[in-house]
Amino acid sequence: MPNDLACKDIVLQGLGEVTLNKDFSRFIKIAKSKFHSITTTTNLMAKDTSLYNQYFDAGLTNLRISVDAIDDKIIKKNRPEISLSTIKKAILAIDKAHIDKVQVITVVHPENFGTLREIGEFISQLGITDWVIQKLVGYANDIENKLCHSDIEKAVSSLSNKLTIAIRGFNYVKRSEPFFCNSPFSTYFINADHYLMPCCHIWDHTKLDMGNLNNFSPNELINNAKAVAFRDTFNKGIIPEICLETKCPLVAEK
Ligand code: SF4
């Protein structure tokens, strides 16, 4: 990694589950010398639950996990390979000294909305204090008009004030409206071969080559002509062809 990085936060993430990579602690140690914050996401299915503590000891500052339900029937519907006991076992394996670095993300949908308070109680009992409740607006189950910010606020209002709750919307734009995606403007995605990519949904640089970190400094890379041209497509309100082919969630249902 070069020294002139403008950004001090990194999300170490590939297409697969990070705990399957035996070198992941080493990656964290390398990143630690360049970045203030190092984040990753896990599905909590590591057989060796001591891995999570090894990552924190190596310098991981944020571990994101997703808990969308505490009812095994709902959990299994979306993630058949996991159960509430797997989630609980993994969280309990994390040392108390690190638990404040764990963030739970819950995506709200009609099936789990009625149990939001119970999910909050569950994670709070396990010592987690950082909870993000993510609304999907105008996508999938189209809960746009059924759940609003205040409904969610009300559902979780009686929870302990030890839990910091952030309710976030994820807005999907209708195709009939001018399209804009913030991803290539807000985050630098670098694939395993060091190419700049627009987001985590497009990872194959043979389909979109916006330049390689080995040939440009990070600042040159994000401002090179190919990257600027790609971002310009969004500035014109147009969905790039590759985004349509990729069927990322932002464009999938348009
Ligand atoms: S694939 Fe989706 S998330 Fe990625 S740049 Fe295109 S619109 Fe944005």
Atom 2 of ligand 1 has which residue's CA nearest to it?
248
- Rounded CA-CA distance 178/153 in Å is 30
CB atoms under 10 Å from CB of 135, counted, come to: 20
* Three-state DSSP state, 160: coil
Please give the distance, rounded to the nearest whole angstrom, from the Cα atom of residue 147 to the centre of ligand 1: 25
Averages of pLDDT over each 10 residues, the chain, 254 residues: 67 84 94 92 87 96 92 79 88 95 90 90 94 70 58 86 82 59 84 90 91 89 92 88 83 62
- Report yes or no: 40 and 64 within 8 Å, Cβ to Cβ: yes
Position in ligand 1 atom list of the atom nearest CA 200? 4
- In this prediction, residue 253 carries a pLDDT of 56
The radius of gyration computed from the CA coordinates of the chain, to the nearest angstrom, equals 20
- What the block records as the tokens of 186 is 């807000």
**CA-based angle 105:120:158, to the nearest 5?**
135
Whole-model pTM: value is 0.75
- In this prediction, residue 76 carries a pLDDT of 79
**Residues near ligand 1 (Cβ within 6 A):** 181, 183-184, 198-199, 201-202, 243, 246, 248, 250-251
- In this prediction, residue 139 carries a pLDDT of 46
- In this prediction, residue 143 carries a pLDDT of 45
- Report yes or no: 102 and 91 within 8 Å, Cβ to Cβ: yes
- In this prediction, residue 142 carries a pLDDT of 46
Beta-bridge partners for 62 = 39
Please give the distance, rounded to the nearest whole angstrom, from the Cα atom of residue 2 to the centre of ligand 1: 26
